[in-house]
Amino acid sequence: MKGDDASRAVPREAGGEPGHIVRMTWYVTDKREYLAAGKAVGEAYRDIIGVYSVAMMAVEVTALMEDRAKVEIEATAVIPG
């Protein structure tokens, strides 16, 4: 599942939406490449998630489980019951 699909489908499966995401950790394989793409990453984030404040952290790692992957995002959502 691509990022755009997952960011909407996963919360919906639990009765939520991307706006219920309260925390994200981004694992990136190249810090410089990630920082250089900051404007494009920000635009994509706003297109998918919207404009609101989420606790975020980015960590540079040597590799991800998928060989071609450059970023992996872990998110926590709080969905009202």
Per-residue pLDDT of the chain (81 residues; tens, 9 = 90+): 555 566 677 778 888 888 888 999 999 999 999 999 999 998 988 888 877 778 999 999 999 999 999 999 998 989 887
- Give this prediction's pTM: 0.79
- Of the candidates 5, 2, 47, 45, the one whose C-alpha atom is nearest the C-alpha of residue 24 is 45
Beta bridge partners of 74: 25
**pLDDT recorded at residue 23:** 93
**pLDDT recorded at residue 46:** 86
For 3-18, what is the HEC assignment?
HHHHHHHHHHHCCCCH
- Of the candidates 72, 78, 69, the one whose C-alpha atom is nearest the C-alpha of residue 19 is 78
**pLDDT recorded at residue 70:** 94
Element (H, E) at 71: strand 71-77
Map out the domains of the chain with their CATH numbers. 3-77 (3.30.1330.40)
